[in-house]
Amino acid sequence: MNEATPLLGFTIGVTAARRAEEFSALLTRRGANVIHAPAIRIIPLVDDTELERVTREIVADPPKIVVATTGIGFRGWMEAADGWGLAEDLGGALESTRLLARGPKAKGAIRAAGLEEEWSPVGESSAEVLDHLLAEGVEGVRIAVQLHGAATEWESVADFCEVLRCAGAEVIPVPVYRWEPPDDQSAMDKLIELAATRGLDAITFTSAPAVASMLDRARDTDMLEPLLHALRNRVVVICVGPVTAAPLRDLEVPTTMPSRFRLGALARHIVDELPRRASNIRAASHDIGIRGGCVMVDGEVKQLAPASMSLLRALGARPGRVVSREQLLAVLPGGGDDTHAVETAVARLRSSLGSSKIVQTVVKRGYRLAVDPVDCGDEL
């Protein structure tokens, strides 16, 4: 593995809406080919009458507890209040409450407003905040919850506010912003297709709403089953943390994540995971690495035509074993029933790989990768 560019040859899908450029740069500097398709867009509610109404209610009668769920949401709330001339009044009201922060970003936003949080969970999840509140009892307690996006059928955690209401709390939702799909979903459609057709090595998610948005779009375009099959079997799904991964786990999609829920840690985790999981074969004295969008030959990126890539994947799925002409014909784009098309495609594959010896012809049977024998040392 090249230490400077350990992700060379890997194609990674990035679904983040915020800080996507920064995150993509972390990956491209390490050699990755990044496909960016924002799965969501954030709709601020700065001018929303409901947010102003709730803000005035909290100023007039501060609740006992306020839960800040996201940094961007809490900052947006304070900025909106400033626009209405209520920033000082809202700050004073919040100062008299018990402020709980879901994670470090919310905590940072609280402190930037000149306030101090009472408590924040280690795991940075809403579920932990909920458990904390239920454990101390919320019967008859007024609690304001800064919302952090629209819930969808894909989200596995029960509605935070509803659980508190069922436990006897008086809940005041604070609708600072909401999530919506992007206006133009063509980039998302391309990313879904790439995942379903083996064009991606990995896909990253930094929020549960982004997961939900992609699943919704795949369902709406009749691509949900192909997408889920790819995510369960071929594409490495890398999430920033357990809250983001929850809707995928519910659908039996394996996920991996860093120990710290930060973009930098996520990038480092990708560097560790992808090379370790990569399909690498030693054939005809060459190191062959089959990637989502290309092949690595002795550490050099080789861009193959779709037909050549399909053949190599089929041969690489059974390294060293014979794959018949009929089986190879079935994977060629366009198919057909003329096995001479396979011979032509194999010739082009050999040319693209730069060696005629990597793919062997087995007379009257088919083709195979010329896998080098494993050196097991001298026999005793």
pLDDT digits (tens, 9 = 90+) for 277-301: 888 899 999 999 999 989 999 999 9
| Within-domain flag for 378 | no
222 and 332 in a single domain? The answer is: no
Residue 212 contacts residue 155 (beta carbons within 8 Å): yes
pLDDT at 233 over 90: yes
Q: Compute the average pLDDT of residues 229-236.
A: 96
Q: Which of 257, 277, 297 is the last residue of a domain?
A: 277
376 pLDDT above the threshold of 50: no
- Digit-coded pLDDT (tens) for 248-276: 988 999 999 998 777 888 999 999 999 99
Q: pLDDT tier at 237 (50, 70, 90 boundaries)?
A: very high
DSSP for residue 236: E
Task: Using a pLDDT cut of 70, give the percent of the chain over it.
Answer: 93
Rounded Cα distance, 178 and 158, in Å:
18
Residue 196 near residue 223, CB atoms below 8 Å:
yes
Higher-confidence position of 373 and 258: 258
pLDDT of residue 115: 96
pLDDT of the residue at 231: 97
Q: How confident is the model at residue 378 (pLDDT cuts 50, 70, 90)?
A: very low
Q: Is 0.85 topped by the overall pTM?
A: no
What is the domain-level CATH number for residue 60?
3.40.50.10090
Annotate 31-72 with DSSP letters as a single string: T-EEEE----EEEE-TT-HHHHHHHHHHHHS--SEEEE--HH
Q: Give the per-residue pLDDT at 38.
A: 95
Query: Residue 17: pLDDT above 90?
Result: no
How many domains would you assign to the chain? Answer: 3
Output the pLDDT for position 153. 43
Owning domain of residue 250? 11-40+182-277
Same domain, 109 and 78: yes
Please tell me the distance from the alpha carbon of residue 291 to that of residue 223, in angstroms, as a whole number: 22
pLDDT at 377 over 60: no
Mean per-residue pLDDT, 89-109:
94
pLDDT of residue 320: 92
Q: Is the pLDDT of residue 77 over 50?
A: yes
What does the alpha-carbon distance between residue 371 and residue 318 come to, in Å, rounded to a whole number? 10
CA distance 320 to 317: 9
pLDDT averaged over every residue in the chain: 89
Report pLDDT for 94. Answer: 97
| In-domain check, residue 100 | yes
Alpha carbons within 13 angstroms on the beta-carbon side of residue 99 total 24
pLDDT digits (tens, 9 = 90+) for 239-255: 988 878 888 988 999 99
pLDDT of residue 207: 82
Q: Which of 128, 144, 179 is the last residue of a domain?
A: 179
Shared domain for 26 and 67, answered yes or no, is no
Which residue among 122, 155, 179 closes a domain?
A: 179
Residues 54 and 99 grouped into a single domain: yes
Higher pLDDT, 375 or 319: 319
**Do 232 and 353 sit in the same domain of this protein?**
no
Least confident of 60-69, 181-190, 254-263, 314-323: 254-263
